[in-house]
Amino acid sequence: MRDIAMKPYWRSLYCVLLVALIGAPGLEAWDQISWTGEVTAGFSTTFTCSSSCHPNCIYTWSFEGHTVNGSTLTWTPDGLDKTVELKCNVLNPETGVSSSMTSIVEIKNRVSVQLSPPNTVPSLNQPLDVVCHGAPSGDHSRLSHQVNQVVWYKNGQKVTLRENMQLLQDNLTLHFDLTLPSDAGFYLCKTYVPMVQETRVFSLGYLLSFDPWNVSIDGPDTVFPGKLSKFTCLTSCTINVDCTVRWQFRLGFPIGSYFSVHENELKWTPSIPGTFQNLTCVAENAAVGRSAEATKMVEVKGIPLSGSEAVQLSGLLAMIVGLGLLLLFQS
């Protein structure tokens, strides 16, 4: 009866806390950053910072080291970043109360570096065409003579043409007569967006590599319940430079008392004997469009849980069920 009698008190306290969280009159109760459509490299987007703050409030934007005043921000990304963090601060000069909000904005890019034809596999001592895909082409007589249609970069520096290289089709194509090991690297092209005041745009990058990728999984073929086992994904590519590594579990997630993944290392303590676990390691580079993988089937051997372990597990389940019933009764 005591618990039932105290419920109105707790509900009243809950209401008071709710009012406090929402905010008293005169304070900013809500803020938001809004915009229309996709944010695309080379094209301007207008962002609006809205708040229930009274008129004459001061709005300040912060992004990429820049500060802009006003409730709206018009910005044109250059394509070098895939996301940008926009922060808007709202200040009420009468009360001195301020609030801020942050939005992570995804930036689309219509320009990319690709091989031509698309299914080409780069090989040493072979001709190769690298294309600035999505860049404008055709008659550019309306543009200033100071504007270069396409500029190529390798590893952050402007490309210097060597004897085995040519620029074709108004610089849209970087042609290699015969590729050399020194041609490997990360390529970008810089172009402009027509009809948008000749706005510069950097493309998505492409990692040109000639090394074959080998992937294997180092670890035991047999594991035991309650015993920690370690598996390592071995790759010929440099992790987080040439490729990234991720684990897949296509026949079900590993069941056990402990499980962790850090880059190419997986640790697992299984708990169910008489089962099999499929582990797959995938090394990939999205810019190159290349991937390789290895799969290992692991058997969990051993005997079922002992009597004491089974009793402990049953007790834990009973405690969880009891807690759920208690919360249900209190509600």
- How far is 260 from 122, CA to CA, in rounded Å? 36
Average pLDDT along the chain: 80
Record the tokens describing residue 83, joined without a space. Answer: 């996301």
Three-state secondary structure call for residue 12: helix
| pLDDT on residue 24 | 38
- Fold classification of 215-300 (topology level): Immunoglobulin-like (2.60.40)
- Fold classification of 112-136+147-208 (topology level): Immunoglobulin-like (2.60.40)
Q: Running DSSP on this structure, what letter comes out for residue 287?
A: T
Record the tokens describing residue 319, joined without a space. Answer: 């405690």
pLDDT at 286 over 60: yes
Three-state secondary structure call for residue 106: strand
By C-alpha distance, which of 134, 171, 173, 168 is closest to 150? 171
pLDDT per residue over 89-130, tens digit each?
Answer: 999 988 888 999 999 999 999 999 999 888 788 889 999 999
Put simply, whether the predicted model's pTM sits higher than 0.75 gets the answer: no
Task: Report the side by side order of strands in the sheet with 290-300.
Answer: 222-223, 290-300, 275-285, 244-248
Q: Look at 321 and 181; give whichever has higher pLDDT.
A: 181
pLDDT range class, residue 196, cuts 50, 70, 90? low
pLDDT at 201 over 80: yes
β-strand pairing of 222-223 with 290-300: parallel
Range list of H helices, 82-155: none
Question: With respect to CATH, is domain 31-108 assigned 2.60.40.10?
Answer: yes
| pLDDT on residue 328 | 42
pLDDT at 318 over 90: no
Query: With pLDDT > 90 as the criterion, what percentage of the chain qualifies?
Result: 52
By C-alpha distance, which of 82, 92, 74, 84 is closest to 31? 92
